[in-house]
Amino acid sequence: MKEKLKNWGIGFLICFLFAFMLLIFGPAEIYFVNVAEFKFVYGEFVWLLSGIAIISSAVISFLAAFLPPVVRKIIWSVFFGLSVAGYAQIMFINEGLDLLGMNPEGYQSGIGQAVFNGFLWLALLALIIFLALWKEKIWQSIICFGAVFLIGIQSVAWISLMLSAEEIAYKYEEGEWSLSGEDQFKVSSGKNIIVFVLDYFSNQYIEPTMEQYPDLLDGLNDFTYYSNTDCTYFGTYPSLAHMLSGSEPDPSISINDWTSKIWQDEKTVGFYQALHDQNYVVNVYTPDKNMLCGMNSAEILNQNFSNVTNAGQDFNVNYVLLAKTMIKMSAYRMFPYALKPYFYANVSEYSEIITPKSRGVSHENHRYYGHLLEEKLSTDDKSNYYIFQHLSGTHVYETDITGEYAENSSLEKTAKGCMVIMEEYLNQLKELGVYDDATIIITADHGGSRDSQVIFFMKNAHESHEEMLISNAPIGLTEFQATIAQSAGIDYSPYGPAVSDISPSIPRERTVWVRLYVDTLPSVPKYSGEGESVSNAYCGFTYTGDINDLFEKYDDGPDIIIPETDGFF
């Protein structure tokens, strides 16, 4: 019995090391470094995962204590080897991991890199198993001391993370200002300016999608497709803030200072005041206010947007999804390159962990589509409407060709599903009799970092034709604010040229800005104050022509490099 207790004690130590790294310290480090990106607090999952770690370690080690010695030693060797290799992977091997699931295609690594990395893992496991079978005393000393050492140093780091974390990591803010989704499916019975921003939708996605679905754009016959549109700024941040404020990002100041400044800027305030003077309600629907405000309160949007509220909201927490997602994110960071694709957690997974009990902003394609079909559009007779609707678009491949949810969908199916949703919305506008008077834009905040031109479909009020028109005018999202002002019938000269002012026949020099990490520049902190950013500079790629010229310029390297003060991701 004494021997079994000893075996159980050693087994628990080794099992708990692995469980501590995977279920306690790993999720904690990911959470605290990215706390501004999560809508839930640490207390929602720390006790749950800690309980799983302790109970599973106790059960596995107890059962293993009754196994034959050789089997038991191999099991402990595997657990210890995985822990040591995982620690080395995190500390010395991982490079530039996308922990927040921002890449719609998931994690990808080179075959050679994955094979070499896997060989190191297998070699370490083989060495530990060899010592267990032929050098038991040395093996036992190594695994016991190693387990205590690794638990100890990571416990110190864990405690340090908890003590230094901001209050938002532990407490939901009462009376928090946010963008309300209460009127998300309401339009004006008079004039409407409606903008759909489909996230991560490059114009390079149109051709391959139409090869599979030739009817992709059949519902857009009254629109003009601007096939040579660049996003100006890669990334949802700063693109959304740039589109809505008209302000160019200023890397010389912090993100929090810039996002505070732009919504009080005289030109921005004047733009929205002019819309309000034309009796326009301005409703902006995006679920992540940080993209517009940084760490500032969304109260700074209140002067410009109509759907800013500080009404408290109750939330539902999906604890199963929360535990699953945090474990996946931890395993993704800890395991070798070859296994990372299986644990990649897309941004949509953690965005749906917390959902408001009352109507919040519907952002995911399928969720928005479901509400659109169920609730239907309704009209407001009192005001004109400017609606800015940000959907997940092709950022996450979780939409099928009918617009419904589909896990592990494809780019083409998701793109087709997005257009089905757009067509349903347009049909409902027609049923209400407000389609003809509406100005409608379907665009994207960005494409890929290299293929950063975006879709841009536009129908002016009273525009109608048998087939969709195509223009190769060299436009960009820099013309967005002036185009909205023009559509609202207000003086747009302070905001630059509108889309209609750009000639297809006159060459135009444009610059696309991509946030990258430049080795010759120092690292910068994240805007949230937690950890380092994955970028440290705005890199400008200046080109004249179309997407092919941009590809060449991107491959040649940036023309301009401007250091960041801090980074968003």
Which H helix or E strand runs over 475?
strand 475-476
Which band of pLDDT confidence, cut at 50, 70 and 90, is reported for residue 120? Answer: very high
Q: How far is CA 40 from CA 4, 208, 316, in A?
A: 42, 38, 10
Which pLDDT belongs to residue 431?
98
Which H helix or E strand runs over 391?
strand 384-391
Which band of pLDDT confidence, cut at 50, 70 and 90, is reported for residue 3? Answer: low
Residue 390 CA to residue 409 CA, distance in Å, equals 20
Look-up of token digits 């002067």: 303
Q: Are 419 and 210 in contact (CB under 8 A)?
A: no
Kindly give the pairing relationship between strand 192-198 and strand 439-443: parallel
Which pLDDT belongs to residue 358?
63
Q: Which residues of 440-469 are buried (b: 16+ CB within 10 A; e: fewer)?
A: bbbbbbbbbebbbbbbbbbbbeeeeeeebe
Which pLDDT belongs to residue 315?
77
- Tell me the pLDDT tens digit for each residue of 304-331: 999 999 876 677 889 999 999 999 999 9
- Tell me the pLDDT tens digit for each residue of 24-52: 999 999 999 888 888 899 999 999 999 99
- Tell me the pLDDT tens digit for each residue of 415-471: 999 999 999 999 999 999 999 999 999 999 999 989 999 999 999 999 999 999 999
**DSSP 3-state assignment of 217?**
coil
Q: Is the pLDDT of residue 532 over 70?
A: yes
Helix%, strand%, coil% for the chain, nearest 5:
50, 15, 35
Which pLDDT belongs to residue 507?
94
